[in-house]
Chains A and B, each alone.
Chain A
Amino acid sequence: MAREFLQVDPRKLRLPWSRREGTDPTKLARQIAQFGKRTDGMPPIEVARGKDGILRISNGATRATRVAKLLPGQLVDVEVSENIPNADFSRLPTVEEKLP
């Protein structure tokens, strides 16, 4: 599979079940202190694409939350690691729903 990169609104990304309560506040605070609103050089967020094109984060929940919180509307780069068309991610919360 060729590597596929997209630009998306991080608020719309789905959190993994194990992070369904939102990102770790300690990690978020650390990232905000370190990077603030900076997005240059930020690695792409890795996602899996499920049914209806819904994207679930595999790595990068804290980055997605930081950008969603500090730069609402700003798009971020994501890399689609795998397509899982039968997976229904619609029940997982979005980053926006769990913004601190």
Chain B
Amino acid sequence: MTADARQELLETLRELGECHAALRFGQLLEFAALMASQEDGPTLAEDAVDSEVLAACRDHIKRWKEEGSEHRLMPGDVPALEATRGELLQAVDEVGRRLPQLTLGQLVAKLTAVAQSNTYDVEDNQLVGACRKELGGILEKVE
């Protein structure tokens, strides 16, 4: 996947996150992959085709916004879209540039494994930590 295409997908996921502010990044990716593949299973994220995820997200965001359905947080809702999200998207982009052979789903699944979690449960800050760890490992190999 080219860096530009990944950045475009990450930017679209950021926008999707604005529609569904309670979802953590891993949940957001699962949701996007679900819309794209129309089935849930053991390799939901890994099998998701970037171009299909992008198209599904765009379609969803368009319909969501047309109806003025932008997400309003409910009392007690935990906003996943915090400062961490921006940091996470940047970190995923950075790791992704070094692993261009992976789809975004494969990359996030790999990071989730590094965080010793799963795509549904993993917290955004755990993924940021996993990115740093992964990046450290990659840079060590290069040096």
Which residues of A are in contact with B by a Cβ distance under 8 Å? 1-3, 16-19, 24, 27, 41-44, 46, 48, 56, 58-61, 81-82, 84, 86-89, 92
Contacts and interface: CB of A to CB of B under 8 A. Distances in A.
Contact of B76 (A42, A46, A61, A89): A42
Contacts of B39: 86-88
Of the four ranges (under 10, 10 to 19, 20 to 34, 35 or more), the interface on chain B belongs to: 20 to 34
Closest 10 CB pairs of A and B: A43-B77, A43-B74, A18-B120, A18-B118, A41-B75, A41-B76, A86-B38, A17-B40, A1-B63, A3-B69
A16 B22 contact: no
The majority secondary structure among interface residues of chain B is: loop
Interface of B: 20, 22-24, 27, 30-31, 34-35, 38-42, 44, 60, 63-64, 66-67, 69, 73-78, 118-121
Contact of B67 (A1, A84, A86, A87): A1
Which of A18, A27, A59, A81 has most chain B Cβ within 10 Å? A18
B44 A81 contact: no
B76 A84 contact: no
